[in-house]
Amino acid sequence: MNDIRHSLLRRDALSAAKEVLYHLDIYFSSQLQNAPLPIVDKGPIELLEEFIFQVPKERNSQPKRLNSLQELQLLEIMCSYFQEQTKDSVRQIIFSALFSPQGNKADDGRMILLGKLVSMAVAVCRVPVLECAASWLQRTPAIYSVRLARAIVDDYCCLVPGSIQTLKQIFSASPRFCCQFITSVTALYDLSSDDLIPPSDLLEMVVSWIFEDPRLILITFLNTPIAANLPIGFLELTPLTGLIRWCVKAPLAYKRKKKASLSNGHLTNKIAKDSATGADKDCHLLYSKLHLSVLQVLMMLQGHLTEKNLYGRLGLVPFDHVVPLVEEINRLSDELNPLNASKEIELALDRLAQALQVAMASGALLCTRDDLRTVCARLPHNNLLQLVISGPVQQATHAALPPGFYPHIHTPPLGYPAHAAHPALPAHPAHPALPAHPVQTFIPGMTFPYRPIR
């Protein structure tokens, strides 16, 4: 590596960047022939930091800075490299060496350049870069994944109005990236404050993707070798938990936002009020569509979990994440006066109950009814949630019942003793046969007084 470094020092910044990618491509290609997963050691990382991210090796040296044109040219060099490299394994290891956080001063520059590279890949539809970014999002700690998601949202939802259409079109080009992107943005926008409510353009795009093909959010889960114990601090295998959080908290979060706007003196004129009301109504319709799609996906999961031999072993909706969600709903319900937000609270709890019931039935949520009772004890009363928490009455098997018979879901009233079995009734004596009545002749000409029921 020292020989390569000395040869690169004589070059200008852009040619050195191109050359270091060339040398590391050769290096890792030979490594992959000897081992399926070669270890990326310190040497290649230091070369990339010095000649791609312009971090000097000597401590006292000033870092070099590329101007805007040079930075754009560097991004083009990197995009072209990943597009032209045909071996996915080499692409993945180079991408990982470039952008895996190292816990040093180069990480900020690394994340900034990664955000710009992925934004460029979206703009010019460079699928190899998007596929590498999808893998990076999956294996990188969530604190970095949400930073990348924030950069993409800023570029395509905030910076240039209307540019969301460009991002929307990558749905067919790289569904795997779309799945990981949804997981990232649901982790980023958790509706805990008004600033963390997803932008309406982003919400509309995510809902359109999922409504078109609900299986999109299972792509990572279906195509990844999975252990029963997932690492802590990384993105989840699916965005299901984040999407459930969006659907359940949305009615309360938007009500809180509207209340804050009114108390701050905003929306004073009628046009502003009507505009805000119309936008909120559109968002509520989108959340309803999203909730339906999430329930459909949850219903698919039992078969997939069984195929992977993970049914009852892997909770794709972790109970540890349900607990804080319930606590947030309880806090929001207390914060909003129940007298003024009864409809919103009812809708939020209905959606929570539906999601919990379907998730438990499909094996996505691994917990007992007693666990749910304990967690949901402080929530406002909701009839549907009470039914879910009570659960079905498990009756004894009966030979006369047909296969697949589902017992009654209603819990019997408490405090009443079981009825004793009644003695068998004596058989009634047979009645004598009645005389046959004469057959009545039908007369078609007879009128019939017909009066419709009003």
pLDDT digits (tens, 9 = 90+) for 135-188: 999 999 999 999 999 999 999 998 888 899 999 999 999 999 999 999 999 999
Residues 6+ apart with CB under 8 A from 146: 184, 187, 188
**Angle between the N-to-C axes of helices 240-263 and 270-307, in degrees from 0 to 180, rounded to the nearest 10:** 170
Cβ pair 314, 320 in contact under 8 A: no
Of 71-80, 232-241, 356-365, 424-433, the range with the lowest mean pLDDT is 424-433
Tell me the residue type at 226. Answer: I
Q: Are residue 179 and residue 72 in the same domain, yes or no?
A: yes
Does the pLDDT at position 229 exceed 90? no
Measuring CA to CA, how many Å separate 340 from each of 255, 277, 334, 335? 10, 16, 11, 11
Angle (deg, nearest 10), helices 42-51 and 88-99: 70
Instruction: Identify the bridge partners of residue 210 per DSSP, sorted by sequence position.
Output: none
Q: Which two tokens stand for residue 180?
A: 């990981």
Whether residues 74 and 152 share a domain: the answer is yes
pLDDT at 423: 61
CA atoms within 13 A on the CB side of 192: 11
Q: Is residue 432 part of a domain?
A: no
> 190: closest CA among 255, 230, 244?
244
Residue 365 has pLDDT above 90, yes or no: yes
For the CA atoms of 238, 239, 242, 244, the dihedral, rounded to the nearest 10 degrees, stands at -90
Instruction: Select from 375, 391, 407 the last residue of a domain.
Output: 391
174 & 209 share domain: no
Task: Say yes or no to pLDDT of 442 above 60.
Answer: no
- Distance set, CA 136 to CA 75, 98, 166, 231, 262 (Å): 18, 11, 22, 15, 42
The H helix count followed by the E strand count for the chain is 18, 0
Q: What value does the mean pLDDT take over residues 357-368? A: 95
25 and 153 fall within a common domain? yes
Q: What is the pLDDT of residue 395?
A: 47
Ranking 55-64, 329-338, 429-438 by mean pLDDT, the lowest is 429-438
Asked if residue 402 is part of any domain, the answer here is no
**Predicted pLDDT at 226:** 80
Contacts of 39 (CB under 8 A, 6+ apart): none
Convert the pLDDT of each residue in 398-430 to its tens digit: 444 444 434 443 444 444 444 555 566 666 566
Distance, CA of 92 to chain centre: 24
Place of tokens 């947030």: 328
Q: Give a yes or no: residue 53 inside a domain.
A: yes
pLDDT tens-digit series, residues 86-114 = 999 999 999 999 999 998 888 999 999 99
Calculate mean pLDDT across residues 197-206. Answer: 96
Query: In which band, very low, low, confident or very high, does the pLDDT at 2 lie, cut at 50, 70 and 90?
Result: confident
Residue 185's Cβ-side half-sphere holds a number of Cα atoms within 13 Å equal to 25
Residues 98 and 213 in one domain: no
pLDDT at 36 over 70: yes
Neighbouring residues of 217: CB distance < 8 A, sequence distance ≥ 6? 179, 182, 210, 238, 239, 240, 243, 297
Chain segment 257-283, per-residue pLDDT in tens: 988 877 665 555 554 454 556 677 889
Inform me whether the pLDDT recorded for 339 exceeds 60. yes
- The number of beta carbons lying within 10 Å of the beta carbon of residue 8 is 18
Q: What is the pLDDT of residue 451?
A: 46
Check whether residue 98 and residue 222 sit in a common domain.
no
In a domain, 345, yes or no: yes
Within-domain flag for 399: no
Residue 6: the pLDDT is 85
Statement: residue 445 has pLDDT above 90: no
What does the pLDDT average to over 196-205?
96
pLDDT band of residue 446 (cuts 50, 70, 90) is very low
Instruction: Report pLDDT for 281.
Output: 81
Amino acid at 409: I
Residue 387 phi, psi (nearest 5): -65, -45
DSSP state string for 229-295: SPPTTB--SSSHHHHHHHHHHHHHHHHHHHHHHHHTT-S-SHHHHHHHHHHHHHHHHHHHHHHHHHH
Predicted confidence band of residue 127 (pLDDT cuts 50, 70, 90): very high
Same domain, 158 and 126: yes
Asked if residue 424 belongs to a domain, the reply is no
CB-count burial class (<10 Å; 0-12, 13-18, 19+) for 151: middle
Q: For position 42, what pLDDT does the model report?
A: 86
Top-confidence residue, 415 or 190: 190
* Arithmetic mean of pLDDT, 384-396: 76
Whole-angstrom distance between the N-terminal and C-terminal Cα of the chain? 92
Of the three residues 391, 411, 437, the one that is the final residue of a domain is 391
Spatial separation of the C-alpha atoms in residues 80 and 325, rounded to whole Å = 44
DSSP for 182-225, please give it: HHHHHHH--SSSGGGSPPHHHHHHHHHHHHH-GGGGGHHHHTS-
- Final residue of a domain: which of 391, 408, 424? 391
Task: Reply yes or no on whether the pLDDT at 299 is more than 50.
Answer: yes
Q: Does pLDDT of 24 surpass 70?
A: yes
H helix runs in 35-174, sequence order: 42-51, 68-84, 88-99, 107-124, 127-139, 142-153, 164-168
* Residue 33 placed within a domain: yes
Q: How far apart are CA 7 and CA 2, in angstroms?
A: 9
Q: How many domains does the chain contain in total?
A: 2
DSSP SS3 for 59: coil
444 versus 142: the higher-pLDDT residue is 142
More confident residue, 407 or 292: 292
Residue 368 gets which letter from DSSP?
A: -
What is the rounded CA–CA span in Å between residue 359 and residue 366?
A: 8
What gap in Å lies between CA 281 and CA 291, rounded to an integer?
15
Considering the chain, what percentage of its residues have pLDDT values greater than 90? 65
pTM: 0.83
**Together in a domain, 92 and 123:** yes
**Contact, 285 vs 203, CB < 8 A?**
no
Residue 283 lies in a domain: yes
Q: What is the pLDDT of residue 61?
A: 72
Residues 65 and 184 in one domain: yes
Q: Which backbone phi and psi does 141 adopt, to 5 degrees?
A: -50, 145
Domain that holds residue 286: 205-226+240-261+274-391
Shared domain for 159 and 244, answered yes or no, is: no
Q: Say if residue 95 is in the same domain as residue 26.
A: yes
Is 29 found in the same domain as 167? yes
What is the DSSP-derived secondary structure letter of residue 141? B
Distance CA 159, CA 147 (A): 16
Mean pLDDT of 233-253: 96
Lowest-pLDDT range of 3-17, 297-311, 338-352, 429-443: 429-443
